A and B are shown apart, each in its own frame.
Chain A
Amino acid sequence: MSFSQFALQLITGLQISAIYVLVALGLTLIFGTLGVANFAHGALYVIGAYLGLVISSQIGWAWAIIVVPIVLFTLGILFDRGLLQFFYKRPVTDQILVTFGLAIIVQELARTIFGGTTRPFPPPQWARIPVELPFGLGFYPPWRLIIIAVTVVVVILLFILLRYTKFGLMVRAGMRDPEMVRYLGIDATRLFTLVVGIGSMLAGIAGIMNGPAQSIDPSSGMVLLVPAFLVVVIGGMGSLVGAVIAGLIMGLASSFSVVFAPQIAQIIIYLVAVAVLIFRPRGLFGVEGIG
């Protein structure tokens, strides 16, 4: 394998990783604070992608980039207030079932509105002309590079938010011990709602970014949900660092396996997951004793 080939696979892998990380971070945030495995997370991704498609084609890309995260944040808050909050105290199986039900409804609504076939989702005009990469690597579609860059920025912002703000401190405390946070007089309900909002926003950003890179159809959310969940489990549920690291591993594994072992490219992430879980059931950065 030549250097340029390696570099191109690396970029492709990082782009896949970026989407995994965005989706998995939201999942793990929601799980860590609320203890809910959100099976509707793929649905939020699909909403982000279709909303981005509609706004970018009708009004313009600049608007899509601004509007989609805001709408998804709002939807997340409505999702928590309108549905999830009634399930905090119900058995985990009920939480899984109700979010799964919502995921089906969103998917089928998307099918009703946009049709079942894949829809092309062109990236913005300025991101269509391939750019020349340094070191003689040749030309590369810039949109994938933008996805990586946006994800890096989003992840850094998220970590700053969680590490250096009072809100972040409360969220981290909530992930450690939600009961205690309530006893300290912190409005945990408001906190939870905001976390769901942020998680949904991340899924929406993933949707609008990944839509043009691949293509979108109503079931793409359900398809993405499975690897995203694996990333969360491999990283250790509730661990943000774990989600990022595991997302990188999974994305690079699926990208490089296409070159080295094309037969197992489709299932490589599952094999990685089996390996990790056999030797470390709680995940790479998981806390012992949870689950």
Chain B
Amino acid sequence: MSKRNTITKEIIYMGIAAAVIFSLRWTVPLIGGYPELATRILIFGILVLGLDILVGLTGYLSFGHAAFWGVGAYVCGYILLHLTQNVFVAMAIGIAVVTLIAFLLGVITLRRHGIYFAILTLAFAEMFYYLALAPLQTWTGGDNGLTGIRRPELFGTELHGFSMYIFVCIWTLLALYVARRIKNSPYGLMLRAIKSNETRLAYTGVNVFNYKVMAFVISGFFGGVAGTLFAAYETYVPTESLHWTFSGEIVIMSVIGGFGTLVGPMIGAGIVLYLENVLSAMTEQWHLILGIIFMSFVIFLPGGVMSLPDKLRKLFGSKRDEATGTVKQQAGD
């Protein structure tokens, strides 16, 4: 494939993505949502995109992304509340703090693999939850969360409603572009090599640990962007944003969408938030339904929605495609 051809493809891809992202505010209400739900979906989309860079590429399942999201939201919210309403300043500081935390957490937790890593990220994220709850409650508002955050400003105009939506759209598009660049770069290839066989990669002389920490920090950076955006959009930070079940929730979104595909987790976030909106109005057992949906995916469709076309092709189509579907599965081992 020639280079020009690749660029054209990339432009078409990003063009379609932009069209979907920028029209979400009008398409979501068509199926029973409300306009602000679109903004919410996009912010969560950035978060799961970051999670996918870590989990989808390196295979390290993190149960601690609530820490990135929550810390970002708290710092950004605190700055908006007390220091300045400049959205860039608030976000920049929030993201910087999150990135630093991601680095420290990464250095501690990435010393272990698989199960240990999942448990350790979970535990340390939980530490931030308890920190916000009691020792730091003068700043975080303790149990009530951070309330009364002032609306952010961008060049003198207040961001809310439509302007907030456009602001988030731009960030989402940027995040998707960067994530795709990372995935398709030689660096992304390294990360995927970690997933398929870490020991083999180490034997070739690569400093695997550095690559893992870097992936973790990038993932945290995305989480920081999403978290700070959330505080600016919601003007309220609930304590639950730091709880480990929140980390679980975004893992659920990603699984439903399909880890390792970048767009998949974003679609998963859209599906879960949309269903939450529709179903929680009808029934109190929304979380039970979500749990059942999630388990069905893990058992019957581990590749998520994104693997559905492949599966269907395998079921009804010709035999020639059969080889492609199974490769992904084994890589996860």
Contact = CB atoms under 8 A, between A and B. Distances in A.
A274 B115 contact: no
Interface stretch (B9-17, B125-133, B144-152, B272-280): B125-133
Contacts, number: 114
B116 A97 contact: no
Interface in B141-173: none
Given A222-B245, A267-B135, A270-B127, A237 B288 contact: no
Contacts of B317: none
Given A93-B59, A281-B112, A108 B298 contact: no
Secondary structure call for the B interface: helix
A109 B292 CA distance: 11
A109 B288 contact: yes
Interface string A68-102: 00000000000000000010001111101110111
B126 A226 contact: yes
The A contact surface, by secondary structure, is helix
B332 interface: yes
B100 to A, nearest CB: 16
Interface centre among A31, A102, A105 (most CB of B within 10 A): A105
Given A105-B288, A277-B111, A96 B127 contact: no
A112 interface: yes
A266 B143 CA distance: 14
Q: Range of interface residues on chain B? A: 35 or more
Given A112-B288, A226-B244, A278-B108, A266 B61 contact: no
B116 A102 contact: no
A229 interface: yes
B79 interface: no
B114 A93 contact: yes
Contacts of B113: 291
B288 A93 contact: no
A203 interface: no
Contacts of A97: 61, 251, 255, 294, 298
B248 A100 contact: yes
A5 interface: no
B285 A96 contact: no
Contact of B127 (A219, A222, A267): A267
A109 B123 CA distance: 25
Contacts of B284: 112
Contact of B120 (A105, A109, A111, A277): A277
Interface in A205-241: 219, 222, 226, 229-230, 232-233, 237
B30 interface: no
A37 interface: yes
Contacts of A2: none
Contacts of B112: 277, 281, 291
Contact of B116 (A107, A111, A237, A267): A237
Given A93-B332, A112-B285, A237 B245 contact: no
Contacts of A86: 299
A67 interface: no
7 contacts: A105-B288, A105-B292, A109-B288, A111-B288, A112-B288, A226-B122, A267-B130
Interface of A: 31, 37, 86, 90-94, 96-98, 100-102, 104-105, 107-109, 111-112, 219, 222, 226, 229-230, 232-233, 237, 263-264, 266-267, 270-271, 273-274, 277-278, 281, 291
